[in-house]
Amino acid sequence: MESRRHLLRHRAGDCGRALPPSGSKVPTTCPRREKSPMQAPYDTEVTADVFAKAKNTFNCLIGQLTDTASGMLTHDRLEETIVEQGRELQRQLLQAHLDLRALRERQLAHHTRRHHAAGAAAPVVGSDGVPRPRLETGHHRLLATVVGTVTVTRCAWRAPGVRNLYPADAVLSLPAVRHSAGLAKLAVIETVRGSFDAAHAALAARCGNVIGKRQIEQAIVAAAVDVDAFYAARAPLPCTACTVLAISVDGKGIAMRPEALRPATAKAAARARATFRSRLAAGEKPARKRMATLGVVYDAESAPRRPHDVIAVPGGRAGQRLPRARPSAIRKWLCGSISTGPAAVIAKVFDHAEARDPGHARPWVVLVDGARHQLDLITAQAARRGIGVHIVIDFVHVLEKLWAAAWSLHPPAAAAAEDWVAGHALALLAGNTGHVITALTGQVATTAAHRRDGIDACIRYLTNNLEYLRYDQALEAGWPIATGVIEGACRHLIADRFDLAGARWGLAGAEAVLKLRALIANGDLDEYWRFHRARQHERVHQNDYQDGYSLTA
């Protein structure tokens, strides 16, 4: 009697119903929901069978946690136990669900094939127009996931001379490779913040031994293929006409493997001969670099200032008046590339800027460091699009030129050099660049020839870039006058990741990591991943079928 009561309790529990009182009539079957076309008549029993292993693992874990011996465990041992066995439980649940789907697919496939034998149209037709009338069950493939590796069992639809089609793969949107989309996204997150070795260790600690270092590198390259298309299809939020639209471009070198260098750099590296066998001589580098170009577009509300709000007058500030605030960068968008040249990156930056201001109604301010090739590319791009831009050379670079000139006129560590630099800097900020050039030219005559390099270089720099040093107009209009945003981007996107000790990069890996770091810095990873998954599904599955891949129609 007790055995029968236990069996009835088990059946009632499976149905989600309470056990009736003793002596009452017990229903022999459980109420079931209406079956979908994908469910078999024995679906409840099948479900119970495929999930039996997961249920057993869960019950064992409960048994461990309720055992008196677990009362002596410290909290860290409890965490380890739950994490390790919990991951295996999740893997078994995923495996059981995939097994259940395989059983349902096999039943439906046999039903569909019988209809085809009775004269119905072929259930699966490839994009090549060839029907696949032959059914073969029991095909398997492995799928490495964040909870472990599982086996996907599915049906193959075949025809002579053409490749098999697997509708279940399309329904699951399985990747072409072994590793799941969730595992690939986790690899992206771990790889962009540290080395590939560190990413591999982090994935192994969290997911088990499901992916190797080389597979991580391949996953990163594959994950970045849709970044350009994602931003090309995205419409930025508009701003008011008075909001400044700021653009800045800069370059930074990345140490590359020999085969990834540009041709000219590779030839120079091949010709170079080490001076010493055991150490580097002065000026020698341990590796050759390839220049990456970064670009940034951001908005800034105008903040008018005066010269002494930017730099203190000679002798320092007096009184209690605080300097006016500078413009603050908002809605920053970063991009970069090492495989393409500066022209492509500058064009991409202008594309994004035009998406923010298609009518060219806002003031466009381009901040540069004075590199001539960048200036030529920027002016050419603006002229081609018919955009009037205001080019401003970074004031910090100009300050460095003034300091170099100061050491031509003052002894090392002389306190008077600071006041000399401050006086000329305030003159530049007030729009008196010509006066500064005249003053420096007059001081050259009293300087010894062997100490004139710094002041001569400063005069040439100011003279060559005179039209881009109109700081009085920039301050009055409230524009930014420094390239701190792009300088910070160079440090964050490149120096913090690519300059790890001993790192030497291949071209594909460096390009992918650079794009993904910019994407994450923009805060767009989740939105991009949905876009990337949709594009990947089209590439891998959508184009394989003539009329879709569902067998339920």
Mean of all residue pLDDT scores within the chain: 87
Whether 119 has a pLDDT exceeding 60, the answer reads yes
- Residue 320's pLDDT band, with cuts at 50, 70 and 90, is confident
The two structure tokens encoding residue 310? 């930017």
Query: Could you read off the pLDDT of 137-167 as tens digits, one per residue?
Result: 999 999 999 999 999 999 999 999 999 999 9
What burial letters (b/e) apply to 78-114, b meaning 16+ CB within 10 Å? Answer: eeeeeeebebbbbbbbbbbebbbbbbbbbbbbeebbe
- Residue 1's pLDDT band, with cuts at 50, 70 and 90, is very low
Query: Could you read off the pLDDT of 397-408 as tens digits, one per residue?
Result: 999 999 999 998
Best mean pLDDT range from 414-418, 440-444, 505-509: 505-509
Which residue has tokens 């461990």? Answer: 64
The pTM for the full model equals 0.84
How far apart are the C-alpha atoms of 411 and 417, rounded to whole Å?
8
Evaluate whether 303 touches 411 at the Cβ level (below 8 Å): no
pLDDT at 35: 43
For every residue of 493-537, which 3-state class applies, written as one string?
HHHHHHCCCCCCECHHHHHHHHHHHHHHHCCCHHHHHHHHHHHHH
For every residue of 186-238, which 3-state class applies, written as one string?
HHHHHHHHCCHHHHHHHHHHHHCCCCCHHHHHHHHHHHCCCHHHHHHCCCCCC
pLDDT at 71: 87
Whether 380 has a pLDDT exceeding 90, the answer reads yes
Whether 197 has a pLDDT exceeding 50, the answer reads yes
Closest CA to 347 of 297, 393, 418, 411: 297
- Residue 54's pLDDT band, with cuts at 50, 70 and 90, is very high
Give the total residue count for the chain: 553
When pLDDT is averaged across residues 129-137 and rounded to a whole number, the result is 90
